[in-house]
Structure formats: structure tokens, C-alpha cells
Amino acid sequence: MNALLLAALLCSGLDFGGTVAGVYPVGSLNRHHGSSALLGAAAGWTTGAFRFELGYGYASLPGRQSTPYRLSFHLPRAGVGWSPVRQPGWGLEVGANTGYAFGRRTFGSGVEQGNAALAELGLIFVQPSGRSRLSVGFWYSNLIENGTGTGVVLSPMLSLRAGVAYVP
């Protein structure tokens, strides 16, 4: 009985769905890379003004030239959001994520792989409606690497991220 109650409580704030985004490399990454779409999925749990999310995204940035160069990365992430503004039918959320980037560069016969930590900050417009939850957010992401001699290096990106989730 208690387990059922707990399950019901947990499921009450649960949602899961897909995300799509436009990713724009800024800073140093902007030198050789153009923008790209990011596709992903996310599952969230809302309690009060807070929302916890697990998500995943994949993007493949093209080179700035007409060559077969690509910089692709998988981005698993976990994050938390807080809603300072909650109105009937809409709300604003401030989000912060952390995660990992698994990257791969390919150009001709060349392949390189590497990882980086991920830190993100976002401002999201949310519109819950019935069993769906729509969101559109502006995110500032940083890929963080730490190398010998180079120290901590940040590679920033901006993204406009939209999501639709099913609320059971």
C-alpha cells in the first residue's frame, strides 16, 4: 500500500518527451564550425517549484567549409530547474545542467575522439497543457576540458531548445 502510494506520488510529477534544438558554437568553436540541430530526449520530475531532469542530446556540427568535416557529440546530462514565475497555463523556469560530452571529429580518413564535462544554464518558457508540457528555452552551454599545459579550457555554445513531454 505504502509502495503504491509512493509510486503514485512519484509518478504524479513525472514527464518524458523529446527535445530539438538549434546549436550555435560561439567562442573558439565558432572558428571552424557552423550551427546544427540537436536531437534528444528528456525525463523530468516536478515537485513544487523545482523540476529535476535527466536528458540526452546528440548534435553533429559541420565545418565552415564545403568539406566532409564533422564534430559530433553525445550529451547525457542531469539538471535542476526552478520556477520563479508560475501562472495558470504558463511559467518561467531557470535551469542548470551538468553532464558529459562524448565527442568525435572526422575529416577524410582522420578520426579523433575525446570527452569533456558539460555545464549549462538556461531560461525556459514552460506551457503545461493537459497531459503535455511544452517548453522553449535559451541555453548557454560550456564544454569543459582540463589539459596539461593548457589548464581548464571552456568551449561555449548557445542553443535554442524546444521540448514536448507527455505527463502521465
Residues that bind other proteins (CB under 8 A): 25, 27-33, 63-65, 67, 69, 71, 80, 82, 94, 96-98, 100-101, 103-119, 121, 142-150, 152-153, 155
**Shorter beta-carbon distance to other proteins: residue 39 or 105:** 105
Shortest gap between Cβ of 121 and other proteins (angstroms)? 5
Q: Rg (Cα) of the chain, in Å, rounded?
A: 18
**Shorter beta-carbon distance to other proteins: residue 10 or 112:** 112
Shortest gap between Cβ of 84 and other proteins (angstroms)? 12
CA distance between the termini of the chain: 20
Shortest gap between Cβ of 162 and other proteins (angstroms)? 22
**Shorter beta-carbon distance to other proteins: residue 89 or 110:** 110
Tell me whether strands 132-147 and 70-87 are parallel, antiparallel or unpaired.
unpaired
**Shorter beta-carbon distance to other proteins: residue 149 or 168:** 149
CA torsion through residues 68, 150, 24, 92, sign: positive
Shortest gap between Cβ of 91 and other proteins (angstroms)? 17
